[in-house]
Amino acid sequence: MPRIAVTIPYFDFFPEIKEELEAAYPGTKFPPTRARLTEDELIAYLKGHDAAIIGLDRFTDKVCAALPELKVVSLCSAGVDHIDPAILNKYGIKMYWAAGINKVSVAELALCYMVFTLRRAHFFSQILYRGEWKGPVGFGGDLRGKTVGIHGCGHIGKELVKLLQPHGVKILACDRVDISEFCEANGVESVGFDELLARSDVLTIHLSRNKTTLGIYDAKTLGKMKRGAVLINVARGSMVDEAALKERLDSGHISGAAFDVFHVEPANGNPLLDVPNFFASPHIGATTRESWAMMLRSGVHGVARAYRQEPGVYPFD
């Protein structure tokens, strides 16, 4: 029977799943605090354990070298950009991760933010909170009739297509892999990146964070976006040049944006938070009970299903 240590504190919110884990692996160790463990704390906590069920913990060379008994790392997180498979392979550690497990929650949030941004709900809400409910304050726009561009048509992008179809929009999709079959079957137009930028009234990012996507929305790229478009990012930070985005929001070239992710998180003090046509949330894309229940159960199931990861093979660069 493997000795299991859990580093993620969310099992306390789901006692029924915690009971399932303890029934499957008696003696499972749970974290005493909800604080993220430092490198040294992670080593001390996992000493003597065969498997770890984790969230966003980083298994560096130092950590893995100090844990010779550790053979399995099972992720409850939606992404894997905090894991280096080469380091795990170096120390004979297998990994498990379930792609797209939070796709419904993230796709719903993206759709919500499209409507929210087009309707300028954040701007109008601020007026109300300031007690300025008086006179004409401008207009928002409808989603119906717009062209929505989806950059990254994987699990979440495909789920978003399903959600968008009843809304009377034209859907464009761009991906680095061939998505022509999916697009043809779902009434979506597959386009190149420049065409996506030029034609989208609403552009929503659903890319994985890797070396090919870091900084992809730089000043030049943002300048190619259709004037008056809105930009949604509920994927990962570090893909968008935030200073360049602020300039285009201030000028009105981009009429509004809604982000759930940032280059530096927490994003407290980020200059974008002071821009009236920018809405932000603190990385809540998967923060639903439904998504977290699935992610935690996935972490439990992954202890027995872990396998060797290959650098350069999806989901890695």
The full DSSP string for 5-72 is: EE--GGGGG-HHHHHHHHHHSTT-B--S-SSPPPHHHHHHHHTT-SEEEESS----HHHHHT-TT--E
User: Facing residues of 307 across strands?
Assistant: 95
How far are the Cα atoms of 177, 217, 225 from residue 172, in angstroms, in the given order?
Answer: 15, 18, 14
Q: Alpha-carbon distance 217 to 197, whole Å?
A: 10
Catalytic residue among 19, 132, 184, 265: 265
301 is catalytic: no
H/E segment holding residue 173: strand 170-174
Active site annotation includes 283:
yes
- In angstroms, the CA 236 to CA 151 distance is 13
- 236 in active site: yes
Instruction: Choose, from 58, 119, 283, 297, the residue flagged as catalytic.
Output: 283
Let me know how long the chain is.
Answer: 317
Please report, as a single letter, which amino acid is at residue 206.
Answer: H
* Nearest partner of 282 among 266, 294, 293, judged by Cα: 266
Reading the block at residue 102, the tokens are 């939070």
Residues 6 or more apart in contact with residue 15 via CB below 8 angstroms: none
> What residues are annotated to the active site?
236, 265, 283
